[in-house]
Amino acid sequence: HVAALYLSEGQYGGTPPTRPEPPPARQPAAPTFSILAADWDRFPGRYKADSGPIWTITRKGDELAIVSTSGLTFATRPIGALEFESTNRPQLARLVLGTDDHGKVAWITQTIPDTPGGRLTRMETMTDPAAGLSDFEGTYESDEIGDRRRAYVSGGKLWFASSEEPEPYPLNRDTPNGFSVWGFDAIFTRGSDGKVDGFIMNTPPGSGIRYVERAPGC
């Protein structure tokens, strides 16, 4: 197209191409839906995407605030009883919440124009997330990326400390052996004796990074 603007037909070797049609106008946003005060309690929770990331959803006024372990952060407003629309993202993302036979929100379907849809499943809250945390204490190393992390328990949570991080940070316990925090999740593994022998880290830059527990003094 640039050549067609500056070269004659003879120099260009043919008729200059026509300009492409402009993209269609963005679909107007839907009107905000009014949700009863008691119904807002149905939505907050933690949801795991089929692709791996975990969303933490909380209520912030008349919107839902969403933080994902993939680094995604955005807010949504209600446009239906079980449907929300993003308020602070470039693209018009919509979330449709599905319920089980008891009316409990059990999953979320996410749609973004020109992007494959995604599905997230609600994660059940552990009754005692602090139980057995000492099993995960230790020092872990990854030969793949040359990183070492120390895991320790404090205040009923598991913490990670690393020379690559400015200060230690707590992890959220999602499953008996699974933890997450903004930016990544860690799935601990156990040997044939049932003892923790390492974990798998999944982050936006790369997934399946293996960390192995090192014996004291190593």
Whole-angstrom distance, CA of residue 55 vs CA of residue 49: 8
Whole-angstrom distance, CA of residue 66 vs CA of residue 71: 10
The residue behind tokens 């390492």 is: 198
Burial class (CB in 10 A: 0-12, 13-18, 19+), 18: exposed
Whether the per-residue pLDDT at 29 is higher than 80: the answer is no
Whole-angstrom distance, CA of residue 12 vs CA of residue 26: 36
CA distances from 173 to 150, 170, 190 (A): 17, 10, 16
Whole-angstrom distance, CA of residue 65 vs CA of residue 119: 18
- Residue type at position 4: A
Q: Check if the beta carbon of residue 170 is closer than 8 Å to that of residue 120.
A: no
**pLDDT, tens only, 67-85:** 887 778 899 999 999 999 9
Whole-angstrom distance, CA of residue 146 vs CA of residue 139: 13
Is the pTM here over 0.85, yes or no? no
**pLDDT, tens only, 85-104:** 999 876 678 999 999 998 99
Mean pLDDT across the chain: 86
3-state DSSP helix/strand/coil percent for the chain, to nearest 5? 10, 45, 45
Determine phi and psi for 93, rounding to 5 degrees. -90, 140
Whether the per-residue pLDDT at 134 is higher than 80: the answer is yes
